[in-house]
Chain A
Amino acid sequence: KTKQAGILNFFSKK
């Protein structure tokens, strides 16, 4: 099973 990661797991807020 896979789960969807969020984009904020990879990119940080400036």
Chain B
Amino acid sequence: MFEARLGQATILKKILDAIKDLLNEATFDCSDSGIQLQAMDNSHVSLVSLTLRSDGFDKFRCDRNLSMGMNLGSMAKILKCANNEDNVTMKAQDNADTVTIMFESANQEKVSDYEMKLMNLDQEHLGIPETDFSCVVRMPAMEFARICRDLAQFSESVVICCTKEGVKFSASGDVGTANIKLAQTGSVDKEEEAVIIEMQEPVTLTFACRYLNAFTKATPLSTQVQLSMCADVPLVVEYAIKDLGHIRYYLAPKIED
């Protein structure tokens, strides 16, 4: 028996919004430690890794490890039927071929349930090597989304250059060149507005705007985003999900042809 309950459906809606542009379907691996999802996008350029800890749920029970393959378009249809403040409960029997998603209004006067067919997905888990990153940047998630959106107008690629002074995002194309520099913030009143750079050595990497923009669909989950970079390895874009876990996107760099 698997049962997981969250106080607000809005969190699940935001999580789905953060992955459904990259993935058509995905396997949710459930165990007593929580729910994990790891999947590559269709073009095998990026990898999405979602971790939801069992202690972040209002109620969590998982008697036996369970892998639930879900069509994310179908899940999105179901979540559209929930009000943001509804409680949401996911339930499945051991070895079941369906999952039940139930919404309850705060006053318990409206209860709806949706049974969704599960899929058998060929899932390949990838081993992600430990990396000592050269640069780790923490910045407001909205600012990162804004930069990715703005620079995508000028080029398919963005160059991220990180030094101890700051981080520079550049794009160059037919229109010309765009550069956005962010300096590390001095003192800020609010932690969520800070730009913090931890640098071991400077790094310059090129990434496809299309994927960065897809990752920023996770912006509503978190006030801050963390970018971890190292020469010739995938960028890690991480959004914390408060009290519940995190979503990490890995993006392979563009390399010299």
Contact = CB atoms under 8 A, between A and B. Distances in A.
A13 B206 contact: no
B125 interface: yes
Contact of A9 (B127, B208, B252): B252
A7 B129 CA distance: 12
B69 interface: no
Interface string A1-14: 11111111111111
B46 A2 contact: no
- Which of A2, A6, A8 counts the most B-chain CB atoms under 10 A from its CB? A2
Contact of B47 (A3, A11, A14): A11
Interface in B91-136: 124-129
Using C-beta atoms within 8 Å of the partner chain, give the interface range for chain B.
20 to 34
Given A2-B206, A12-B126, A7 B250 contact: yes
A2 B254 CA distance: 6
B243 interface: no
Nearest to A10: B234
A12 B129 CA distance: 9
A14 B127 CA distance: 6
- Which of A4, A8, A11, A14 counts the most B-chain CB atoms under 10 A from its CB? A4
Interface string B23-43: 000000000000000001001
Interface of A: 1-14
23 contacts: A1-B257, A2-B157, A2-B206, A2-B257, A3-B257, A4-B254, A5-B252, A5-B253, A5-B254, A6-B43, A6-B252, A7-B40, A7-B45, A7-B46, A7-B251, A8-B44, A8-B126, A10-B233, A11-B47, A11-B129, A11-B250, A12-B126, A13-B125
Q: List the 10 shortest-distance A-B pairs measured between CB atoms, nearest first.
A: A2-B254, A11-B126, A5-B252, A1-B257, A3-B257, A14-B125, A7-B252, A6-B44, A14-B127, A7-B47
Interface of B: 40, 43-47, 124-129, 157, 206, 208, 233-234, 250-257
